[in-house]
Structure 1
């Protein structure tokens, strides 16, 4: 098992208030526990998007200033995402969202499948890393196998994956971290299981990226996807693979459009302003704590400090929640992000969420598209109250949340 990026030793100094000062939305007074659905945005990202939109810009090229500006935005974002995801920037693909990229990749890979072939998905995952594979398999007559989540521990054990991987498995799709309960599966072991039968490993790193280092190669992932709007960036998606793997794949595309990698996977003109925003977001993360070296090295240092900060807050929150009557925590895995799912006896989670919102505490409720996981945990289609700690969370946020939850409990006893 690889070391946990959320508990790295001796992290650099981390000033949460200095980080918070970069986010205009945090000045609005609300305590944000809604980061797993999309983080708040630093001023530097908004500024980068505005600069790109207001300077000369056209389709990519190398002749005019407008062409060069657009080309620089794309190349800069590929390099930044390569640093963030531990991968060759020449294999970084942009798309409207992680979901759309996964649908496109599933359809592309399924061209080589047929009856008797198998794909493996997990009950732990967001539906964006389940349904594209299920639908693609159904369309070509391939079989879907399910790796089961242990509802007692919240773990997706490698043995559960091994139990459904066979000689005809073509793809294993699994999350790097659950957006519902935070569980971080042992990806290198799962990768070894998939690669032993010649299958590809497709990793959803959307929920991991805001909290820890993503390393496509160390994970053993053949393809890894993320969503920049979960880590301070604008709304778009990214998919990364080794360029040589992408060279072997041929997605649907327009005849005149580029057949180069990674452009052959990008449908239509890219949103250059969003590309500039992605680069700015990654640079903000790299600068969370003072550091030297490459951007990749600075990202690792900053995320180590973020992980230590979030772990401290998570432990405090878990300890305080354990003293509240009727609270059940469903986030139990040994290795997990600072994302807690809870239910409160006698209360609908959506009602609790609304009551907290009236106190300017943003803590949403639901299954958050991890429908299979919610059902496996016995929570049906209702899910629970999700408390997502972020790098910019502080003790005051926790105080306000706990005050709200105690008030709800006090009304029950009145």
Structure 2
């Protein structure tokens, strides 16, 4: 009995000693931990200030590619999520820099969005930062890349379009030289030579106009413009071709408020639309120009009774050099830049242009442009009616564009 009691007491004492030892060990560990200084990741002196002044997206990663620092632009570009670099391409570049110590400059197109539904083109510069970190600088080049692609495509298209009239002129010149003794052939070839020269001049002129439209900032350089006057001038300049086809242009309505913009650009745009309507309308038909104003928006509709445009072609009708019917365009002298010019002009004025068309029933182009507020129009009489209000008009009118195809759709 005594031995059992001694065994129990010894067990309790051992248990107490074990608990006491564990407690002492825990206290010791806590004391040791309290005496250790754990440094947060630090950047080289002045690095943060320099990065903030660059105006670029930046990411700083440590030896295991954990994100130590990243600015809001890096998150906005979708390069970083939480404390993780999103794209494996970036991690591959940081690994190369970490291994070789060589700075890398590259342009990359990276997916953007939670599901990669869009993309962003960035110029990346990846370099060592101190002994522990890798710095990734990213500049958004998406718009630059898009513009460069459009420019390259435009140059390629222009080169292709110029080949046809230039080649034809060269060939006709040689043919005329070989047929020096055939007056009938010379006369026929000379007429064709004149046609190709007119087509070449029209194409060059439209390229110049498109370049001028793209290069002018209407927001800063624009002035108040009376659209009634613009339409009247555009219609008047469309006199000759319409009279040649016995086409009537009827203008109805008026625009009580002015718009902010460029008078010459707007005149060119509406002249292109009217010329286009005349060119693709049968003889003896009518082109209607309707003017209206609602909720601070000036609206101009131009309707023809022409051949119409298929739904597939309507989606591409405003593209440069796009032609619904290339053969017909050659006959009518269209350059394929007319509607592209219209689109640029109206967009530059903060407006929009749309198309409704049905094959065999004609087409309607609708232009909508924001109006100026009351009191901003110069030369406005006290009763609020615009100066030089011409009101509804009805004429046999067409374009004085003597050359074939200037400003046409196709």
TM-score, structure 1 normalization: 0.21
Q: Which has the higher contact order (CA 8 A, sep 6+)?
A: 1
TM-score, structure 2 normalization: 0.21
Which structure carries more strand by proportion?
A: 2
Higher Cα radius of gyration: 2
